[in-house]
Structure formats: C-alpha cells, structure tokens
A and B are shown apart, each in its own frame.
Chain A
Amino acid sequence: MVTNNPLVKERMGKTYPVIFVEGGYRDVLIKVRDMVHLGHRLFTHPLMGSIKPNQTPYRTVCLSKNVHEFSMEDPQIISNSIVACDKFVPAQYFPQSMLKDLQTADISLIWGTMAREQNRNMN
C-alpha cells in the first residue's frame, strides 16, 4: 500500500506492507506511477472515492507486492489519474478538525475492499 495517510500506516501497517509517502495527494500518485513503471500491478483505482484531489490531502493506493510482466493498461490508468488530479484548483485548505474525518474516509474505502475474500488472493 502506498499512502500518505497516517491512519493507514497505523492500522494496516502490521497486516500489509505500507510505503509511507511524506507529501500530498499528488506525491502519492507519483510514487505509484514509479512503481507501476517497474511492473507492480494496480489493485485499486488511483482516483478511488470520487472525492476530488483538491478536497482531501490523503490518498492510498494498493499495488501488487510482486513485479509482473509490463502491460500498457496500468501505466495508462495512473498517468490519466495524474492528469485528472492536475486539473483541480490546488489551493485547498484543510482545517485541523477535518483531517481525522478525511483520514477515516480514505482508510474506509481500502479497508472494505481488502476485507473481501476475492481480493485477498493476489500478490
């Protein structure tokens, strides 16, 4: 899991390998892009959640642990996601009181997905 959400690191770090990114939403996408280019497969969509890139500072993306044969599909998805991210007015400010809510919204999407049996069998 590539994330900048401290709650994901805290709650899921013991169960799954977590790469923690010190940075913003876009920085997570860039890290994911680099890993996809090395052959890691995307498990979750980088723009999951319909919460726009300028409405939350947090992002978590699940990728395969192992490196696979290179395909064009995943690099396209992550590149398009970065392009989509860059379209939004970035000057969003997040009051301290909202950060916990946004962390919860982010982790909940991943949590629900990983809890499902059919999503556990891939590496």
Chain B
Amino acid sequence: MKLQLGFINIKDVCLSDKTMVENGILHVNSDEVISHIMQDEDVKACIKEAYFDIARPGEKVRITPVKDVIEPRVKVEGSGGQFPGVISKVDAVGSGRTHVLKGMAVVTVGPIVGFQEGIIDMWGTGAEYTEFSKLINLVLVCRPAEDIPPHEYERALRIAGLRTAAFLGECGREVQPDEVREYETFGIKQGMEKFPHLPRVGYVHMLQSQGLLHDTYVYGVDAKQTLSTIIMPTETMDGAIISGNCVSACDKNTTYHHQNNPVVAELFEEHGKSLNYVCNIITNENVYLADKVRSSDWTAKLCRLLDLDGVIISQEGFGNPDADLIMNTRKIEQQGIKTVIITDEYAGNDGRSQSLADSDPLADAVITGGNANQVITLPPMERVIGTLDYVDRIAGGHAGSLAEDGSIEAEIQVITGATNEMGFGYLSAR
C-alpha cells in the first residue's frame, strides 16, 4: 500500500468573503463554512451558536476548553475520502494521494460536561508544552442548545469539527504542494523477501475506548465494540481513526495526533534501513476486565502470527488504560517479542510517586511523555477564545487555580497534548 502526502505550507489564515488557498494563505468565508456544518441535522439541533476565531503563534491568546484538533486534508487520488465512515462513505483509505494544509489546524471549542477539556496557550510558559501552540489555529467555538445531553453535544461538536476540516481541505485539491512524501508498506511475504535481514517491527496502537465521552472511531466503528485487529499505517495517516475522547487533555490523542502519529512517522523513516515496518495493530482500552484479557490475548496472538521481532506500544489516557498497557506488554513479551512502551506519568507534584497504576518486570523498556502532575503557572493573556468558566474543573486545575489577574496555576495535564503518549511533545530528559 502506497500513499503520497502532498504538503501545502499554510503561512496564514484569514477570515474573508471566499474560501480558498492562495499564495499559501487560507481564506475562510465564515458564513459559508458554518452553513456547511449546519447542513448536518444533528449538529444543527445541538448547537445554538457557532463562530470562528483565529489564534496565531506568539499572540497572547488562550484557547479553552479545547475538544479536538484536526488537520484539514483532501483525497486527490485513490479510494476513499476524508474521515471514511463518518464524513465520507466507508471506503479503504491509505493509498493514492492526499493533500495536507500544513502548519494550521481546526480547533473545536465547547463545554462538554463542564470539565476535562484542555487549554492551548499561544504564548508564554504554556506554549512551550504543546505543538498546537506552534500552529495557526482556526478555532470553531460552538455553544450548545438548551437541555442537550452531553454525549449528543459531544457528537455534534465532533462532527462539526470534522466537517469543517474536510470542507477546508477541499481548498487544497488543485494546489501544487510545496513538498510530496511517499510512504509504502508491503504484504507479509513481499516484505520478508525485500528485507530478509531486517528485524520485523509492528506498532500496537491502543485506542481510548472506555465509554461515554472516552471513545475513538475506526472507519466510523466505535473501538470498544471491536476485537484487536490489523490496520495499515498509511490508513491511520489518511484519516481512518478519529478522536471522540473528551478526557485528560494532556494525554488525549486528538484527531491531529492520529493523522500525524509520530510513531508511524519514525517507523517509516527507518523502514528498509534499520527495520521492516510490518503493520499496526489497533486494540482497545475497555473498562471491563474480561475485555482487557480478551483484547490483550488477541494482540499478542496477532504479534506472534505476524512473526514480529519487536513491537512499540502506545497508550492513551490514565489509570484504567495502564492495566491494558501492562497486559499487552506482558503477553507480547511472553511470545518472545521485544517491546518498548510509550506512556506518560502521574508521579505526584514532586515526581516521586509510582508513575503508573500497574507494572510488570517484563515492561523494562519505557519511554515517558512527562509527568502530568508537574505544576506550572500560566501567565494571563490578552484574549481568551472560548471561556475560562471551566478552568477550575479541567483535569489538573483545582479550586482557586484561576487567579484574579487571569493567571492559572495548574498541573500540566490541563494543556492539550502536553504529555502525549505517542511521543508527540517537547518534554525531554536531554
């Protein structure tokens, strides 16, 4: 399976009377895009008001509460469309050519259950903790209609963001990309023949799937309803996996993370040089312990069946998913396959407590995304997109964390993407 990504560098985004990309500038006709979003009846029923705002790196702007971050793209060759099974009809993606509006993102903002969503600061201390502070963010703020249950509003906001990204992505269809990269994986036999001396490496990609407001969708299927299965890396790069997760801002994998998964990128970088990148295995993180046993058994069986020599495992979230992470690791290691896990830590404010809620001697190669309990102070901003009403209640904020001058003292878990467990972050021991 071969996928070409054509990157169109976006230098600025502005609100305009037309929606188009011209000379690297994305023009957005707000009325046109909002009207497109509202063509979805469910979205229309759940959202009272929607508008766009723009936040650029270096501006004294705070965006909160952030639900999802999405990169606009368009499928220009090959089967499938954007976000198959959700926005476009179900059809396999991951081959052909896709154009990417690079350097910007659609950020959805709205209060889901009055807690849990994150903060993106475009300037100051907080901006050092997340990649999203370095993007030009087109922020879609949606206010819920009266008496809408949280899960229906969550869905509306999710669909509104995806529809916006798909609509804007279309602007890149006819644009000549600034750079084109190619990614290819092979069938089992073909890969072995092509790289007979390279270790066979797979990526076990754990998807958040605990239930209401903690969901991930694969080709539109709720991940908690599936058994572990195989997916080609280029499919994940091409919009097959989207986020419906509203909890734990610092280590939630937004749709942008799935589209730009750094584990996939790095494995492709080494593919054919130091390793043979075989495939991804997706598995879930359900709350029922029997589900955990079933899914981790299945993952280990697939790793064995594929004759993998090494596996990288990434998780999403805190606490309950630690149990899945350790079960997967133990069972894969017991098949004689080496593992490296990527997680983050909740090691207390001083970093001295046990980092994970579960552990095993076989999990002896661990990469950390950082300590989510680390306390920092975010300086006041000149402008807030969204609302600060929920800051006290976002994960990691606590009573009194919002000071009168607008500064916020909180754990870094309030920052969207700060301790991302795919390694999509800046924290380092180097």
Contact = CB atoms under 8 A, between A and B. Distances in A.
Contacts of B399: 91-93
Give the contact-size bracket for chain A: 35 or more
A113 B319 contact: no
A38 interface: no
Contact of B116 (A47, A55, A97, A109): A55
Query: Of residues B151, B208, B287, B357, which shows the largest number of chain A Cβ atoms within 10 Å of its Cβ?
Result: B287
B211 A87 contact: no
A109 B211 contact: yes
A74 to B, nearest CB: 8
A83 B151 CA distance: 31
Interface stretch (B160-168, B275-283, B347-355): B347-355
B398 interface: yes
A115 to B, nearest CB: 10
A49 B214 contact: yes
A47 B354 contact: no
Contacts of A67: none
B358 to A, nearest CB: 6
B375 to A, nearest CB: 9
A98 interface: yes
B320 A101 contact: no
B33 to A, nearest CB: 30
Given A45-B287, A45-B320, A87-B348, A50 B247 contact: yes
B357 A122 contact: no
B323 interface: yes
B195 interface: no
Interface string B110-129: 00011110000000000000
Contacts of B358: 77, 80
Nearest to A109: B211
A49 B320 contact: yes
Contacts of A30: none
A46 to B, nearest CB: 8
B317 interface: yes
A66 interface: no
A105 B319 CA distance: 16
A43 B357 CA distance: 17
A41 B201 CA distance: 36
